[in-house]
Structure 1
Amino acid sequence: MGQTEKVVKMTTNLQVKQRKLFITPKNAPYIFIGPAFLLLLIFTVYPVISSFILSFQEVRGVDKTFVGFANYTRLFHDPIFYKSLLNTAEILIVQVPIMLFLSLLIAVGLHSTMVKGKAFFRISYFMPAITALVASSIVFMILLDEHFGLVNYVLSFLGVKSIPWLTSPLWAKLSVILVMTWRWTGYNMVVFLAGLQNIPAELYEAASIDGAGKVKQFFMITIPQLKPVFIFTVVMSTIGTLQLFDEPFILTHGGPNSATMTITLYLYETGFKFFDFGYASAIAYVLVLITAIVSWIQMKLVGDLEE
């Protein structure tokens, strides 16, 4: 039997086996993506639908009772929910602008031709974003300890009294903002840096010929060209802050006196500490609605500025 006949025979046998397995050119793609689609249904679509239905129910043990909009109505009379919402808004308003300003400043500096060792600095600034969040939060918890922390120890040499970083409502909130800024500044710096590298050099050359200085070039060329990057970083940073959980959970446990209680932390405690899953589901969907509205407003405002 020749080589060609062997190939033909093998191809025929393969086609027969495919028919037995119901694999044809038409249904083959669906068969191959089927397992991934099934996992998506089980671990994403089903939990979303199930939690939405759960938000209209009251759960007691294994018993579920339909209560309509009672869980959502309860939110309007819950002072802790309003407190967590206010805390999240305060952190968002303070932390996001500071972080994005620092990210842009560092990105512009590292984009400059005068800076040596750019790779080292880029990696150094980006490292916090890939550091385990629990580990970094524990390190900051040790550094910011009121009595034995390194930060207060250094400040004592400058004549500054011990600061209750994690036990005072104001300082605890500032500590959370500090840790968040440390962690995500480098991440946004990389995004801004990518945007800067995509700005055509011809624009700066033309501006230089027309007599525009570096400051004018920055505000007239760099900032307008980075508007899509600003949209991305602002929206993503806002969504991330609205979902803030790890830092206050590890550093302060939402305290003191609920000063760092965020919406997601309150959601977690409601569901997994008090086992009120119906109410926790209602909080989750209100958070989704708030996130969608805030993101839409931000994109609308930036879009209007572009026009």
Structure 2
Amino acid sequence: MAIVTTSTTRTQADAAPTPRKRSKLAPRAYYWFVWPAVLAFAAFHTLPVLIGVFYSFTNYAGYGNWDFVGFANYANIFRDDRILQAYGFSFLFAIVATILTNAFSLAIALGLNAKIRARNFWRGVYFVPYILAVLVVGYVFQFLFSNSLPKILSGIPLFADNILTNPDWAWTAVVVLAVWQACAFSIIIYLAGLQTIPGDIYEAASIDGAGPARQFRSITFPLISAFFTINVVLSLKGFLQVFDPIIALTNGGPGTSTESVTMLIFRGGFSGGEFAYQTANAVLFFIVITIVSLLQFRVLQRREADF
């Protein structure tokens, strides 16, 4: 009887339909959506980049004939005082602006995350600068620095005259504009991070006697360290490529005191007859930004692991 039962069970198992294995490949419809985007990206981004890298090894002026010059353009960059000054200004500007942006953004985000009246309204107010056109805001700030502040702060020697005409301090005006606008995006990221922290942790810390400063140092900042990493990397990368605020406020002046790398590439490459030379500068600048971003990720993510 057992033999019959076993045979019957085995026959039923063999007759049962085997479940169909799910295909690991996505449906064809997905590829019809993906491939146009890939082709467009390759045509309008990857291909121009490769062409630019090719021309960086030539003496092409943007028109006419050209010849290969090898690595001469790259070698000349390290002997060009104007380019070295532009790199120095870009890094000084980016470091100062990154520090100020993240300090102000985190402080404002902590305030907006607290239980205050009209919290959602203030969140919207602080995000407004991010959606405004940089050039329009820049011209408003230009009027402020060149006309309003000299009258309001006439007793302060630094602001008695137009600060935008001061070669030693004009860069600070660019920092003010860039930080004011960049804080909006950083605040949103910090708010997203703060909202992931359970309130029970703060209640337990309060019961243990931890004050606001200790809670921030031991709870808040460690738990939003990943968001801090994102903000710092994006801020430094964006500020290194500063262009619009300088165009609106100083146009690189006085002289070349506020001339960034991106502005120098634009001026020399498109109107200065240095297309190949500035293309080589752009390739080098891309490598520099990539290395800086990777170093930031490595250092800051190691910091996250320590927490």
Alpha-carbon distance between aligned partners in 2 of 1:39 and 1:177, rounded to the nearest angstrom = 35
What are the Cα deviations for residues 42-68 of structure 1, in whole angstroms up to 9, with x where unaligned?
Answer: 101111111111111111423121111
Taking the aligned partners of 1:300 and 1:262, their CA distance within structure 2 comes to: 26
Residues 57-136 of structure 1 correspond to what in structure 2 (within 5 A)? 57-60=58-61, 61-113=63-115, 115-136=116-137
Deviation at 1:141, TM superposition (A): 1.0
In 2, Cα distance between the equivalents of 1:190 and 1:285? 32
Say whether residues 1:160 and 2:161 are aligned partners: no
Residue 32 of structure 1 deviates from its aligned partner by 4.4
Q: Runs (4+) of structure 1 moved beyond 3 Å?
A: 25-34
- Tell me which of 179, 182, 200 is aligned to 2:180: 182
Q: TM-score, normalised by structure 1?
A: 0.86
- Equivalent in 195, 198, 201 of residue 199 of structure 2: 201
| Contact 1:164–1:171, Cα closer than 8 Å, also in 2 | no
Q: Which amino acid aligns with 1:138?
A: Y
Residue in structure 1 matched with residue 260 of structure 2 by the alignment = 262
Q: Distance in 2 between matches of 1:257 and 1:167?
A: 9
Alpha-carbon distance between aligned partners in 1 of 2:197 and 2:43, rounded to the nearest angstrom: 43
1:1-307 matched pairs, under 5 angstroms? 28-60=29-61, 61-113=63-115, 115-145=116-146, 149-156=147-154, 159-161=155-157, 162-306=160-304, 307=306
Q: Distance in 1 between matches of 2:30 and 2:215?
A: 51
Q: Is the 8 A contact 2:226 2:301 kept in 1?
A: no
Query: Per the alignment, in what secondary structure is the counterpart of residue 59 of structure 2?
Result: strand
Give unmatched runs, 5+ long, in structure 2. 1-25
Q: Give a deviation string over 1:227-279, Cα, whole Å, max 9, x none.
A: 10110000000100111111112211111121101110111111112131111
Give the aligned partner of residue 17 of structure 2.
none
Query: Secondary structure at the residue paired with 1:68?
Result: coil
Deviation at 1:144, TM superposition (A): 1.1
Alignment match, 2:19: none
Q: State, as a whole percentage, how many aligned pairs show the same letter.
A: 35
Q: Say whether the 8 Å CA contact 1:129–1:187 is kept in structure 2.
A: yes
Determine which structure has more spread, i.e. the larger CA radius of gyration.
Answer: 2
Unaligned runs of 5+ in 1: 1-24
1:160 maps to amino acid = I
Separation (CA, whole Å) in 2 of partners of 1:226 and 1:214: 16
Counterpart Cα distance in 2 of 1:120 and 1:170: 39
Distance between the aligned counterparts of 1:129 and 1:160, measured in 2?
31
Instruction: State how far apart, in whole Å, the 2-side matches of 1:84 and 1:205 are.
Output: 50
Work out the CA distance in 1 between the residues paired with 2:31 and 2:191. Answer: 40
Question: Given residue 43 of structure 1, which amino acid in structure 2 is its aligned partner?
Answer: F
RMSD of aligned alpha carbons: 1.6
Q: Measured at CA, do residues 255 and 197 of structure 1 come closer, stay the same or move farther in structure 2, by a change above 3 Å?
A: same
Q: How many positions carry a matched residue from both structures?
A: 277
Moved more, 222-231 or 271-280: 271-280
Shift of 1:38: 2.3
Instruction: Tell me, yes or no, if the aligned pair for 1:235 and 1:298 is still in contact at 8 Å.
Output: yes
